[in-house]
A and B are shown apart, each in its own frame.
Chain A
């Protein structure tokens, strides 16, 4: 369980760092027009992290349930999270102060962090294997 909590913490921290990188990119790209993108990024990354933490809580609870109950529990919670994301994207599309591109970038930071972490660990593993073969 400690393992899982540490993962949640690490992904949250890295997502915040990646959001800061995105913020710098938006500032460079859009200069004076950046604030709506930054607001969207803050909104999206906050929601993305919240979504991931909620997913963590759902799965932690689901693995202790009987399989049939876990299946329906996780599916129902997925649709609740999905509708929250839908509301967030809708708000950012309809609002003048928020740019939807920023919100989407913020929402996907968690996913990008997971992809990057897994790819890096996979490549370091394959490098270690090739080193051992050379030796």
Chain B
């Protein structure tokens, strides 16, 4: 027989796993942007400063969603607020 607490724990683990998927996207996106950035520096070396600056800001903002997912996953696993409700 599955109790309410066990069900919550199981669903939380699944939820944490799903939330961690959010961390993969920014990594792939940043890599793709860096590849394109390197390509554009090769085409126009004098614009390296501007390209680096724009990429830096874009990459820093893109990381945010990954961090959100990570926080949700870790809270679900180690400080689950739903367990206290039972």
Q: Which residue of A lies closest to B35 (CB)?
A: A71
B31 touches A86 (CB 8 A): no
Beta-carbon contact of B70 and A63 below 8 Å: no
- In the complex, are the beta carbons of A59 and B70 less than 8 A apart? no
CB A107 to nearest CB in B, in angstroms, measures 6
A78-B27, A111-B64 as given contacts; A56 in contact with B56, CB under 8 Å: yes
A2–B49 CA distance with the chains assembled, in angstroms = 7
* Majority DSSP secondary structure for residues of B touching A: helix
Which residues of B sit under 8 angstroms from A90, Cβ to Cβ?
Answer: 74, 78
Specify which of B51, B53, B78, B79 is in contact with A7 (CB 8 Å cutoff): B53
Question: CB distance B30 to A89 under 8 Å?
Answer: no
How far does the alpha carbon of A52 sit from the alpha carbon of B37 in the complex, in Å? 18
Interface size, chain B (Cβ < 8 Å): 38
The residue of chain B having its C-beta at the shortest distance from the C-beta of A51 within the complex is: B63
Residues of chain B with a CB closer than 8 A to A62's CB:
34, 37-38
Contact of B74 among A7, A66, A89, A110 (CB under 8 A): A89
Contacting A at CB under 8 A, from B28-62, are 28, 30-39, 41-42, 48-53, 55-57, 59-61
- Please give the distance in Å from A98's CB to the nearest CB on chain B: 12
| Residues A75 and B52 in contact, CB atoms below 8 Å apart | no
Q: Mark A72-85, 1 if CB is under 8 A from B, else 0.
A: 11110011011001
The verdict on A71 contacting B48 (CB below 8 Å), with A59-B56, A64-B41, A94-B78 known, is no
Sorted nearest first, the 8 A-B pairs with minimum C-beta distance are: A75-B31, A74-B34, A71-B35, A70-B38, A3-B49, A67-B35, A78-B27, A71-B31
A-B contact pairs, 23 of them (CB 8 A): A4-B49, A4-B52, A52-B60, A55-B56, A55-B63, A59-B55, A59-B59, A62-B37, A64-B41, A68-B35, A70-B37, A71-B31, A82-B63, A82-B66, A89-B70, A94-B78, A100-B71, A100-B79, A108-B67, A110-B60, A111-B63, A114-B60, A118-B57
